[in-house]
Chains A and B, each alone.
Chain A
Amino acid sequence: MSWFKKILPSRVKTNSSNRRTVPEGLWTKCIACNAVLYRAELERNFEVCPKCDHHIRIDARERLLGFFDEGTAEELSADMKPVDILKFRDNKRYKDRLNTAYKGTGENDALLVMTGRLLQMPVVAAAFEFDFMGGSMGSVVGEKFVRATEAAIEQRAPLVCFSTSGGARMQEALFSLMQMAKTSSALAVLRKNKIPFISVLTDPTMGGVSASLAMLGDINIAEPGALIGFAGPRVIEQTVRETLPEGFQRSEFLLEHGQIDMIVDRREMRSKIHNLFSILTHQATANI
């Protein structure tokens, strides 16, 4: 059991027996630089490789629990689950894909929402779970995101969302496309209420998620080296029939083209977001 799970209040714990476990072996390898790393050290380092700074993909739950002040996180709408309204079936049934995803992640869908404190400031935060069907957005993701905006308005607390998603969930067809409009509309309401929203784009954030809530932050932040875009690089390559430029659709490329405001190292994320929120909400500098 990892350190952050030990400190959790029971209400935010998942059924950890179902959870895909990191091999209890104490060592792991960085996929970017091949360095052999000590698991516990990697966890302490927010899953950033201490040798090459590669940002390893991180579970939604680990992300959020590491983001909030210890013991302050409380999950919202944890029991919401998808329904297979179209009885969708490709090579596999949607139902079976869902079952695989439940088992693989221990989560009920691809978005988690929690309220809690960030360096003592009340904050609402959402995070996508990429291992749940590619972090794809269907009805549950849309609804939970909207509830996050509503909780933010109700509590007058700023909202942050960590995105990682392949886009809309094809198995929910037009219902999932409409979640783009639904979440964007909720952000319009949030704006009217003058609640700040920071969108953090992490690797990868594509398609319907990038073309809705993820690009609508008052401030858009990306983690280093994240793939971010509307169309996938392969689709673009096939369409334009040329090789894509070096670093195309990576965070650094987006920053250069004015699509995001800053690139922030995961280890600095808490203090950076806290500072931005405290300025936007006219708070005095917190004594940290």
Chain B
Amino acid sequence: MNFLDFEQPIAELEAKIEELRHVGNDKDININEEISRLKKHSDELTRTIFSSLTPWQVSQIARHPQRPYTLDYIEMIFTDFEELHGERNVGDDPAIVSGLGRLDGIPVAIIGQQKGRDTKERLRRNYGMPKPEGYRKALRIMKMAERFGLPVLTFIDTPGAYPGIDAEERGQSEAIARNLLEMSELETPIIATVIGEGGSGGALAIGVADRLLMLQYSTYSVISPEGCASILWKSAERAQDAAEAMGITAKRLKELGLIDDVISEPLGGAHRDMSKMAAVLKEKLKNEMNDLLNSSLPSVVISRQERLRTIGQFKES
């Protein structure tokens, strides 16, 4: 298990527990008792620490190297998944995975950003930063889903759209913009879930939805805390302050009415118990999907557009 800085007290306890386990059952029969006592203590400590996380700490969990990624959820939540790679124009973008599958027996289309677990995979997945062809692949799958009446489920987990020369040459802006426009009127239900990092326009480009959900320790923001800090505070070191000021956590965004629901994570974060996390998420997705499938399609699309129409705060005299 990898521990973050603020989890050090937990890490120390866990190390002690591990040590005791290795000491084995030599003679001391109390060792198991001691272990369970420490385990309880560790859980309490985790609960305490996690009950008052700062937005910056949450963003570290959202980027945790062991956090479950899109493909992990696909494996644990869906059946009969078939990945579709073709964008039909430039090439495949491994930073976005897309395909067809079933959720609780119901055929669906699935799209999500994908990060890599090790260095090689991280490079191949471009750290989950999609290029225009990734967004265009996503759009192609969405349009197909619309034709065949499949609900679209998206999983958001990206630091942002890739800021590179080739991405600009091939129209990163246009690719994102087109997805926003097309998703706003796509004639099939869309459910978007932020599972890790919701990085700006690169996240939103697969995030226009009828239901916008966030895992408890995921983040969603207009710019990364580091980016915001370096522009407004003139120092990336102030990322903690930027995270605080922007209100990037699921809890805060729910309070602001910008997302529909927060999905609770297992104690210590999704990576501590992936299968439990997947089970909870699956249940939520099933319910939301069935709810949307029970409404008439035109009314789903109209509500989506009406909701987009009213986002924003301003005053007029």
Q: A191-B181, A239-B162, A249-B168 are in contact. List 12 more A-B contacts (CB 8 A).
A: A77-B316, A79-B316, A80-B314, A86-B245, A139-B313, A142-B312, A143-B314, A170-B222, A180-B176, A210-B177, A211-B161, A257-B169
Using a CB–CB cutoff of 8 Å, the interface residues on chain B facing chain A are 161-165, 167-174, 176-178, 180-185, 200-201, 204-205, 207-208, 220-223, 227-228, 231-234, 241-242, 245-248, 253, 256, 258, 305, 308-309, 311-317
> Closest Cβ of chain A: how far from B236's Cβ, in Å?
11
Closest residue on chain A to residue B308 by CB atoms: A185
Contact present for B315 and A81 (CB under 8 Å): yes
Contact code string A77-121 (vs B, CB < 8 Å = 1, else 0): 101111101101111000000000000000000000000000000
Q: Is the CB of A188 closer than 8 A to any CB of chain B?
A: yes
B interface majority secondary structure? helix
Contact present for B173 and A174 (CB under 8 Å): no
Contact present for A239 and B181 (CB under 8 Å): no
Q: Is the CB of A179 closer than 8 A to any CB of chain B?
A: yes
Q: Is the CB of A16 closer than 8 A to any CB of chain B?
A: no
Closest residue on chain B to residue A77 by CB atoms: B316
Q: Is the CB of A1 closer than 8 A to any CB of chain B?
A: no
Contact present for B314 and A139 (CB under 8 Å): yes
Contact present for A173 and B221 (CB under 8 Å): yes
Complex contacts, B184 vs chain A, CB 8 Å: 181, 184-185, 188
What 5 A-B pairs have minimum CB-CB distances, sorted nearest first?
A: A231-B163, A139-B312, A185-B184, A184-B180, A90-B232
Contact present for A178 and B177 (CB under 8 Å): no
Most buried by A among B167, B177, B183: B177
Could you write out 9 A-B pairs with CB less than 8 Å apart?
A139-B312, A170-B228, A174-B247, A181-B184, A185-B181, A191-B181, A210-B173, A229-B168, A239-B163
A170 to B231, CA, bound (A): 10
> Per a CB cutoff under 8 Å, which of B223, B234, B312, B316 touches A168?
B223
Contact present for A182 and B312 (CB under 8 Å): yes
Contact code string A130-155 (vs B, CB < 8 Å = 1, else 0): 00000000111011001000000000
